[in-house]
Amino acid sequence: MDSKEHSTGKSFSYKDISYKYSVLARYILFLFLVVLFYATLAPKILPERYDIRLGSYSEKEITAPVQIPNSKATLNAQEKAAEQVQSIYSIIPIRNETLIVQILDRIDGLNQDDQVSNQDKVSIYRQEIPQRAEDFVENFVKSNRNLGTYSDKLLDEMIKVISQQIYAIPEETFIKIPRLTSEDIQEMKPVAREIVSRLSNDQIVDGQTARAKVAELVSTSSLRNKIPREIVQELARVTLTANKFYDEEATKEAQVAARENTETVYIKQGDILVSKGQLITEELYTLLDENKLLKNEVNYWPQIGLLMFSLLLTLGLHLYIRQSSTNKYKYDNSQLLMLVLIFIITVVSMSLVSIVQDSIHPYVGYLAPVALGAILVTLLMDSSLAFFCAMLFSILSSIILNVTQGQIFDFHFGFFTMVVSFVAISVVHKASQRSTLLKGGIMVSLFGSITVFVLILIDGTEWSQVQTLYTIAFAFMSGLLTSVFVIGLMPFFEVTFGILSALKLVELSNPNHPLLRKLLTETPGTYHHSVMVGNLSEAAAEAIGANGLLCRVGSYYHDIGKTKRPNYFIENQNHMENPHDTLDPKMSKSIIIAHARDGVEMLKTHKLPKLIRDIAEQHHGTTFLHFFYHKALKKAEEQGVEPDFTDLDFRYPGPKAQSKESAIVGIADSVEAAVRSLRNPTVEQVESMIEKIIKGRMDDHQFNDCDLTLKELDIISKTLKESVMGIFHSRIEYPEEIKKTTNNHDEADKRGV
């Protein structure tokens, strides 16, 4: 480092040993992030385990770490639901009317056989009619068993019930049957068929109930003779059977369905599982064991896994910051501390909401201001970093707000966080007014509501209208809460960390600021000069991707120190003699140089951010005051004495520009002053002057401490030329070949300067 660099008092080696750029401090901050992630996620992933033995007394109160299922209560509820299921009966249509027609046909044929005596006929009917009724049922069961129409158990139940309800025909009926003529039987058939068919259409559990109705139907029938009526009545009773039977399998299936449809009984998060001093019964022990709350065996793998997970999240953030930084010190430790604080605030806000959230009301989680961290990173640091942090916040929210048992991540909350964070970043990344933050909150509310509605549709589950409305309402409120928190936290971060956000810069550019009012009223020439420098520096900064707004606002304050001695600066010497004409060159040098130092002190007094102070302190760097140096040499020569000074005594104390913005303001400051000093500047003069100023500063090593490249300096030169041409258009003369074609109006412009 040469003598000039010694005079600045700052260099890269100074940065390396300072706290802000300490490698050890940086890794401590990242380590703190690991601890934050582990401590926040542990309650969700690693519930506390207890060393408890069966039959012992609990030494502490044990509460449910999360909402957990109560197996015993759920089992009791399931059994109660199964007990409330009524027995299911299935109907089996047997078509008994076919049987009674077959019996009457048999009677008709046998009665017409004269070879069989009446006594034999009575004997045949006594055996055959009951047997026919029994065979009819057996054939029906056999046929349906082969076809698989009904279950075997149901058919067995049918045989059992019918056999228990067999009807015995009175003996006198068998004696009367042989007396029936063929005409009697033909008259009896439709009546018998109609009666049996009509009664069989009813649901018959007990055959006796249906048989009791036969006498009434027979008495109202078309039969008039007593014997046919009596015989039809008895034959109808013997053929009628039950057709509705207890279905054991269907009943069991209904009981299984009732058990399955019974909602799980949960123990809410925070509910007391075991009171202090309570005896650990087998039931309590089983409950704790089922929910993995017992230290039955030493298992550190989950803890190791969570620690590695936290390390991976932090490593990803570290690598992104390292790779995205355009220079080694883009993010100093002060900014990293601010980033850690943003993570703490965002994660804590999620955790607080998760406390009042449970599996019955999972939608409460959408109330968390999950976009808060992404917005703060955007406003206070960088939008590209904010996008990466938004992905981390999405992962964290999917764990912290998850209430689903058996899974670590909840896709719904992760996707919701990602969408609203990306929307918020897109809206506020160029915010220059506080109202933009409210706009960002409203956009978060709208897109958050749309996102949760889409997730409900994708889920396909049957959400009630109330649940849907609550979910959308909480998502909408999340955006409003986010904007309120951001507006409230921004001043804290700006003051605590000296952050110059776009919002703060716009506030500082207000002409009503006390320092700007002082500059305008006491040094109007300097005020006008500062405004011009602001216009030039902003255009140049934006051309190379630097902070144009910072350059503009920094330019407004860069010469505030001149208000202490306004008459010693040429832009304020209207219609008065220059006091430097009668001053010693060394005194003049001290007064000129002091304005940078005085400006920094005034800015400190009014608590302006450090970046503004840096521009005021660094915009001259360690440049050389040629005029006063040569004036001092001439005076010494006239006095015939050896100079008791060197060129180092006529340099600004610096430091040199430490940022692109400070360097750009310094260049624009010199360009504006130089153009203003020209009476009739031409385009060639302006272009040559700008290049000369930049080359002079570069040869003087004024850009050694900032990261301006040669390409960027070339862009700055071209941009300043275009801006000067626009601002001082009426004063700049055209080249000779153009002047030949101009009218007298150009000459009038020249004379009017």
Per-residue pLDDT tens for 473-509? 999 999 999 999 998 898 888 888 877 777 788 888 8
User: Whose CA is closest to 616, among 570, 532, 556?
Assistant: 556
List, for residues 402-450, the tens digit of each pLDDT value: 887 667 888 999 999 999 999 999 988 776 666 778 888 899 999 999 9
Using only the alpha carbons of the chain, give its radius of gyration.
Answer: 50
pLDDT score recorded for residue 14: 39
* Contact assessment for residue 195 and residue 236, using Cβ atoms and an 8 Å cutoff: yes
Amino acid present at 442: I
- The string of pLDDT tens digits covering residues 680-721 is 778 888 888 999 999 999 999 999 998 899 999 999 999 999
Percent of the chain with pLDDT strictly greater than 70: 91
Distance CA 448, CA 582 (A): 71
* For range 275-304, the mean pLDDT: 78
* pLDDT in the model for residue 345: 96
Secondary structure class of 748 (helix, strand, coil): helix
The total of other beta-carbon atoms located within 10 Å of residue 251's CB is 17
Cα 420 from chain centre? 6
pLDDT of 9 above 70: no
Q: Phi and psi dihedrals of 68, rounded to 5? A: -125, 150
Contacts of 138 by beta carbon, 8 Å cutoff, 6+ apart: 159
Dist CA 502 CA 583 (whole Å): 43
CA angle 38, 323, 396 (to 5 degrees): 25
Place of tokens 């409900």: 456
Beta strands in 322-413 (DSSP E): none
pLDDT at position 501 is 77
pLDDT band for 748, please (50, 70, 90 cuts).
very low
* Of 114, 119, 499, residue with least CA distance to 335: 499
| CA dist., res. 684 & res. 690, Å (int) | 10
- What DSSP letter does each residue of 71-99 carry, written as one string? HHHHHHHHHHHHHTSPPPEEE----HHHH
- In tens, the pLDDT along 352-404 reads 998 888 767 888 889 999 999 999 999 888 889 999 999 999 999 999 998 87
pLDDT on residue 714: 94
Q: What's the Cα-to-Cα distance from 70 to each of 185, 226, 276, 408, rounded to whole Å?
A: 71, 72, 20, 20
Q: Is the pLDDT of residue 745 over 60?
A: no
**HSE value, Cβ hemisphere, 13 Å, CA-based, for 267:** 20
What's the confidence (pLDDT) of residue 581? 78
Residues 207-235: tens digit of each pLDDT: 898 889 989 998 888 888 889 899 999 99
Higher pLDDT, 683 or 523: 523
Q: How confident is the model at residue 299 (pLDDT cuts 50, 70, 90)?
A: low
Encode pLDDT of 557-594 as tens digits: 999 999 998 888 878 777 778 888 788 888 888 888 99
Angle at which helices 585-605 and 610-618 cross, to 10°: 170
At 747 the pLDDT is 31
Per-residue pLDDT for 338 more than 60? Answer: yes
89 bridge partner residues: 246
Helix (H, G, I), strand (E, B) or coil at 65: coil
Domains of the chain by start residue, with CATH: 89-246 (no CATH), 304-499 (1.10.1760), 504-751 (1.10.3210)
Judge residue 115's burial from the number of C-beta atoms within 10 Å of its C-beta, 0-12 exposed, 13-18 middle, 19 or more buried. Answer: exposed
Q: What mean pLDDT value characterizes the chain?
A: 84
602 or 682, which is more confident?
Answer: 602
